[in-house]
Chains A and B, each alone.
Chain A
Amino acid sequence: MKLVTAVIKPFKLDEVKAALETFGVKGLTVSEASGYGRQKGHTEVYRGAEYKVDLVPKLRVEILVDDEDAADVIDVVVKAAQTGKIGDGKVWAVPVETVVRVRTGETGPEAL
């Protein structure tokens, strides 16, 4: 199993969710996050004083998938989240050792 994590622009969430649903993903977790990549934040001005805001608001989407689906899910997320402009985010996958469904106690791929 793999954990696919995507950091995306907040306004892209609906498209990413719809695309994942179409693909057949059963569940996901979304949380608010802040961070920066190459774009290095932005500048705000208050009464003429400039503030550099390094950390930009993002959403973190986490999806647990079977090994063979990982590449496709990443592809789906990237396509849905892309605007082509700087600050679109990143997607990565890491191996997952165990997954347990809390309600039933099922483990492994059954629990996905």
Chain B
Amino acid sequence: MKIDSGSTAWMLVSTALVLLMTPGLAFFYGGMSRAKSVLNMMMMSFASIAVVGMIWVVYGFSLAFGDGGALSSFIGGFGDAGLVGLEKAATADDGTGIPQLVFVAFQATFAIITVALISGAIADRAKFGAWLVFIAAWVTLVYLPIAHWVWWSDGEDKAGWIFDLGALDFAGGTVVHINSGVAALALALVLGKRKNWPKEPARPHNLPFVLLGAALLWFGWFGFNAGSALAANETAAVAFINTMVATCAAGFAWIVVEKLRDGAFTTLGMASGIVAGLVAITPACAFVTPIGALVLGLIAGAVCAFAVGLKYRLGYDDSLDVVGVHMVGGIVGALLIGILATTAVNDGGADGLLAGGGLGLLGKQAVAVVATLAYSFVVTFVIAKVIDLVAGFRIPEDEEVSGIDTATHAETAYDFGGVPSGASPAVAAARKSPAVSEDGAASTKKVQADA
């Protein structure tokens, strides 16, 4: 196996960077949720790492990036199940590629974060077991096919149908962001609103966590976008600088909109703008100039700052604005490729409207967006509905009110001292061995009888 060691080193690092995004997301979402449900929120992200990581090795990679024979426009086959025989394979045979297993691991981290992103829509109220089932079903039935449509090609005559169409998605605007955003909408609709939403405020309980999460996401996103070049080369460099500047612009645009509309520059606005910018530049990062990326970021930040208000008008409880940031930001980025893309920065791209390419690219982008929206929404809705009918997707109302952390995970996030809570190891021990407490109860009764 001949490989490019520089590219391989960069891709190993990128893979670790992208994996770090999901714990980063856990902080981003966790800080936005309430103190009584932050653990559940963070666990939904970590569970996604665990479940998707296993599926990816067993059959996920094979279905997303394998050859599907007659069905290969839509889905891969089981030829690479278990990653059997991939130890010696490389992405290219001429010494310019990276080991196939590095590519496998890199793509695993994308599938992981896509599912985790959805969890922001269902804060405070989802049964954890149902979420575990949802992760497995959703990755299998929604993520794997869409990733195959957009990214798979055998390098010769066969490819996924959106790849074939010529629509551009460098790092996952459709596959990751529009996909998770619209799935979040479907899931929020199936689960319904939280009790008393939106009358009862659900303020973020820890904004420094949200900022920490945004910072980790941004850091990891350099691996997500520049790593999607699959090499340490000039395309990675374009993606890198664009990932930086679009994000700066979007964070700035969001807080300016807030100042003009609400009267204050908020930290939550800055963190949200950063993520909106990262989302929007994702599909476009290797196809636009840095100035194009700056413009794209400004537009995405401003549009998403308004989009997060839609849920109050339309009445769906997308708790942490997955729809307003990821679906809307993803659509903005995917469509702006049709306007801003230029082959001046990347021969592998295409010319959009402003580069003299006409409206053709914009049309292809629109087809990719609509196909992703439609497929993901419908299939997600069906998966969620089936889980809800069979096992129930929501926790009981009293547990939602008292807090999902204690009810589901038997833990609380914070113990700041104050009045002693009375928790001690002895209490837990007594619960584990009922004999002890029964004896205790018996002797108490005896004392009463004696008295």
> A residues touching B (Cβ–Cβ < 8 Å)?
44-51
B198 contacts A49, C-beta separation under 8 Å: yes
Given A51-B201, A51-B203, A45 and B266 contact (CB-CB distance below 8 Å): yes
8 interchain residue pairs of minimum CB distance: A51-B201, A45-B262, A47-B308, A48-B309, A46-B268, A51-B203, A48-B262, A46-B203
Contact of A47 among B198, B263, B268 (CB under 8 A): B268
Known: A49-B198, A49-B309, A49-B312. A44 touches B203 (CB 8 A): yes
Cα distance A45–B201 in the bound complex, in angstroms: 11
The closest CB in chain A to the CB of B261 belongs to: A48
Bound Cα distance A90, B263 (Å): 31
Chain A contacts of B169 at CB under 8 A?
A: none
A45 with B203: CB separation less than 8 A: no
22 A-B pairs within 8 Å (CB atoms) are namely A44-B203, A45-B258, A45-B262, A45-B263, A45-B264, A45-B266, A46-B203, A46-B266, A47-B269, A47-B272, A47-B305, A47-B308, A47-B309, A47-B321, A48-B258, A48-B305, A48-B309, A49-B198, A49-B312, A50-B262, A51-B201, A51-B203
Nearest A-chain residue to B306, judged by Cβ = A48
In the bound assembly, the distance between CA atoms of A47 and B310 in angstroms comes to 11
Contacting residues, chain A, for B261 (C-beta < 8 A): 48
Sort chain B's interface into a size bin: 10 to 19
- Chain A proximity of B38: nearest CB distance (Å): 16
Is B392 interfacial (CB-CB < 8 Å)? no
Q: What chain A residues lie within 8 Å of B272 (beta carbons)?
A: 47
**5 more A-B residue pairs beyond the given contacts A46-B204, A48-B262, A49-B198, with a C-beta to C-beta distance below 8 A:** A45-B258, A45-B262, A48-B258, A48-B261, A48-B305
How distant is B206 from chain A, measured CB to nearest CB, in Å? 13
The docked-state distance in angstroms from the alpha carbon of A51 to that of B266 is 14
Task: Give residues of chain B (34-75) contacting chain A, Cβ–Cβ below 8 Å.
Answer: none
User: Considering only CB atoms, which chain A residue lies closest to B308 in the complex?
Assistant: A47
Complex alpha-carbon distance, A48 and B269, angstroms: 9
Closest to B320 in A: A47
C-alpha gap A50/B198 in the complex (Å) = 11
CA separation between A47 and B309, bound complex, in Å?
Answer: 8
For residues 174 through 208 of chain B, which have their beta carbon under 8 Å from a beta carbon of chain A?
198, 201, 203-204
Which chain A residues border B268 with CB–CB below 8 Å? 46-47
Instruction: Tell me the smallest distance from the CB of A21 to a CB of chain B, in Å.
Output: 26
Within the assembled complex, what's the spacing in Å between the Cα atoms of A44 and B207? 13
| Residues of A close to B262: CB separation below 8 A | 45, 48, 50
- Alpha-carbon distance between A97 and B435 when the two chains are bound, in angstroms: 48
Task: Tell me which residues from 292 to 337 in chain B have a Cβ below 8 Å from any Cβ of chain A.
Answer: 305-306, 308-309, 312, 321
Most buried by A among B203, B305, B321: B203
Hey, which chain B residues are within 8 Å of A44, CB to CB?
203
- Tell me, rounded to whole Å, the shortest Cβ–Cβ distance linking A27 to chain B: 21
Residues of A within 8 A of B263 (CB): 45
* Neighbouring B residues of A47 by C-beta, 8 Å: 268-269, 272, 305, 308-309, 321
Which of B201, B269, B272 counts the most chain A CB atoms within 10 A? B201
A46 to B264 Cα, complex, angstroms: 10
What's the nearest-Cβ distance from chain B to residue A77, in Å?
25
Q: Report the separation of the CA atoms of residues A49 and B204 in the bound assembly, to the nearest whole angstrom.
A: 12
C-alpha spacing A50/B309, complex, angstroms: 11
Q: Which residues of B contact A45 (CB under 8 A)?
A: 258, 262-264, 266
Bound complex: CA A51 to CA B309 (Å): 14
- What 0/1 pattern do residues 257 to 294 of B give for CB contact below 8 A with A? 01001111010110010000000000000000000000
